[in-house]
Amino acid sequence: MNSPNVIHVESSDSGQDGFPMEIGLVMHNGAAYCLVAQPEAAGFPPQPGAEQATGLTAEVRGRRALPIPQLALELNRALGGDTVHFDARGPAAALLQRLFDAAALTPSFTMEPLQALLAADQCRDWERAAVTALEEQRHIRNRASDKALVLQQTLVRSAP
């Protein structure tokens, strides 16, 4: 299997009630992006514990965060018409829709669950493949782009 585009979203709150704070994107060609959002500007202040969970301090957000419309445009530019896969076990699709709604933009890309690329028996091997991918990425940081890379590698390992 060729490596697909994969996205991972860290949010200001657990579950679908938060707002995207960091978006990691790993492209089929290996290019990786880590985009930090300014959720406060869209009326979604980080919840207590978000800084610890994401590792994004106010200082880091102040230095690297993009306004919501600019972040949405960056995603559209990077993915322009392509398909990006996400882990259906998490809230990525809902969080990205919330981001694009706040930016008053429409995604120029298609989102599909990465599990849709796998047969049922391959889904059962997912955890084993994930452990192997994590072991190979011993230097992994708590960044969304690193998590997207692990998802991508897990998918490739799980496929025939």
pLDDT in tens, 35-71: 988 777 767 666 666 666 666 666 766 677 888 899 9
Mean pLDDT is lowest, of 6-20, 82-96, 118-132, for 118-132
pTM: 0.81
pLDDT in tens, 64-102: 788 889 999 999 999 999 999 998 777 888 889 988 999
Whose CA is closest to 148, among 98, 88, 85, 105? 85
| CATH superfamily of the 6-158 domain | Ribonuclease H-like superfamily/Ribonuclease H (3.30.420.10)
